[in-house]
A and B are shown apart, each in its own frame.
Chain A
């Protein structure tokens, strides 16, 4: 699916009211093009998770404007009625831990999303298998999550994030539990997939190993984002 990336203007989020109000996001501007992978870094409590939750349509911002793909989803109020369907169809999530469904095999873990969107089981599984080819996971398609290594589980989680061809993927510390080699492999996959599916990907991270790989980085401090140029260091690693 050809998307138009992520566009955020003046996004604010306040928790509470009156004297106890906390301004978690004061003024966030972001732009991520289709096919681009950007890093979102910042110290603890800076507002990274709040921004991710707003982008993920899990919590409602206080003010601002968000465009995901070709759709204005928020403009000082939600512009979509079914946030659940928005999350399912327009946003891919990759978490710190893979959080695979332990009672589904690898194929059905990935195929579940298209199935939830109403796709026939056979078509959903076919989509999953196609992604496994790209991720070099074909040989593990029938395995249960408990039979996979940490890196393999994270690749399945990436496939799950991509399977509905969302214009946007939000990755929350996707390399945190992995060693350097596997962490860089995951970033490589994300870059490849972003280019292949023209998906805009935001990677929230503290991981010093992968920060040099981003061409652009958003640094968030006290609820305000600052755009920085990244090193965009190239690397060649096989997926593990």
Chain B
């Protein structure tokens, strides 16, 4: 038996291909949306992976340092380091801000890393160009996605930094490229006020009789001095010594330091389940809408194609064609349309859309397989309306009168 669907498609291949291309663009957008969601999740995981930490010690009862503000003293790490099972600790600060370079500025996550060596928690684990930060001030390592180059001068608050190294896939959970600078500089940048604000603060402190007591000389100077430093960091990153249980060490830190400690799995829940939850829901809604639109388009196209063949279908039924042959004709055309659409969509998403999206688009093979299955299922479902119309055709319609 010949393939009626195949012959029909070959007879009007131009119409089919153009319709498939149109559908493919829609499928491409759908796959890209899924890729954006995967990219967001991957950004979150990359942030955790690249921090090199097993535990994140943050301000008590907060979901810091990424999902909520967290502030702890910068000497807490010493006490944590002394807890059994802790191999390394490092202070870290995170500050999302616009970093200026010449005439342009780039949204980045400025990360303050403690002095140390490669492998220290918080440090970029690898570089693609240049070197790591070796000086205590005014050097920076930037993610290549920021567009900065080696030797570029970056303006962060009032200070200038020279880019000495470039890294890759070091991004915040929002996809902003990271710029690493020395911890002390980052602490200063986080709380640095402008000169007017500093003068205003000093005036207020001086006018406050509680701080400006004639009987206590030096008190006012001490208070003003304390206001000009920032002894806080956002978190302490902890690496666990080999052979120790992460949860046990985390429990010890919680018990003795009275701080909140998040493990890697807890951080994933916070980042994916809370921080990007709203974005994920939005993308899910887009996926649903795009799937419904795709279904409607396929259903409409197949229905229209079927209506155009009503007389032929009546003749086919009159000359004894079985219903399953007619169902096969319509369903195969619908699936063929979906296959053309999927191939075009996959190529569009991979080669055209992913490279130009500002956000990281991660197209996973499993998502493609699921997308393919979804397209086939949608096409089968979409052909039902046309099949119902075809099965309702009375073979008597072929006979006049």
Which residues from chain A sit less than 8 Å from chain B, CB to CB? 48-50, 52-53, 56, 58-59, 84-89, 93, 95-96, 99, 101-104, 108, 112-113, 115-117, 121, 144, 160, 172-173
Contact = CB atoms under 8 A, between A and B. Distances in A.
Given A93-B398, A113-B319, 9 more contacts: A49-B400, A50-B401, A58-B394, A88-B321, A96-B400, A103-B8, A103-B10, A116-B325, A172-B399
A85 B323 CA distance: 12
B318 A113 contact: no
A80 B321 CA distance: 17
Interface residues of B, number: 26
A53 B399 contact: yes
B320 interface: yes
Contacts of B7: 103-104, 108
B242 interface: no
B399 A115 contact: no
Contacts of A144: 11
A59 B395 CA distance: 9
B320 A88 contact: yes
A56 to B, nearest CB: 7
A58 B322 contact: no
12 contacts: A48-B401, A56-B318, A58-B394, A87-B319, A96-B400, A101-B316, A102-B312, A104-B2, A104-B4, A115-B1, A115-B2, A116-B321
B375 to A, nearest CB: 24
Interface string B299-328: 000000000000110011111111001000
Contact of B400 (A59, A103, A104, A173): A173
Contacts of A87: 318-320, 395
Contacts of A49: 399-401
A53 B394 CA distance: 11
B12 interface: yes
Contact of A88 (B1, B8, B319, B399): B319
B277 interface: no
B396 interface: yes
B312 A101 contact: yes
B84 to A, nearest CB: 79
A58 B396 contact: yes
A84 B322 contact: yes
Contacts of B320: 84-89, 113, 116-117
B220 to A, nearest CB: 95
Contact of B399 (A95, A112, A117): A95
Interface string B6-34: 01101110000000000000000000000
Contacts of A50: 401
A121 B399 contact: no
Interface in B334-373: none
A58 B317 CA distance: 10
Contacts of B11: 102-103, 144
B313 to A, nearest CB: 10
Nearest to A105: B7
Contacts of A113: 319-320
Contact of A95 (B1, B316, B317, B398): B398
A116 B318 CA distance: 12
B19 to A, nearest CB: 16
A90 B323 CA distance: 19
A52 B316 contact: no
A144 B4 CA distance: 15
B263 to A, nearest CB: 63
Contacts of B4: 101, 103-104
Contacts of A58: 318, 394-396, 399
B105 to A, nearest CB: 60
A56 B1 CA distance: 24
Nearest to B9: A103
Nearest to A88: B320
A28 to B, nearest CB: 15
Contacts of A99: 311-312, 315, 398
B34 to A, nearest CB: 36
A183 B399 CA distance: 19
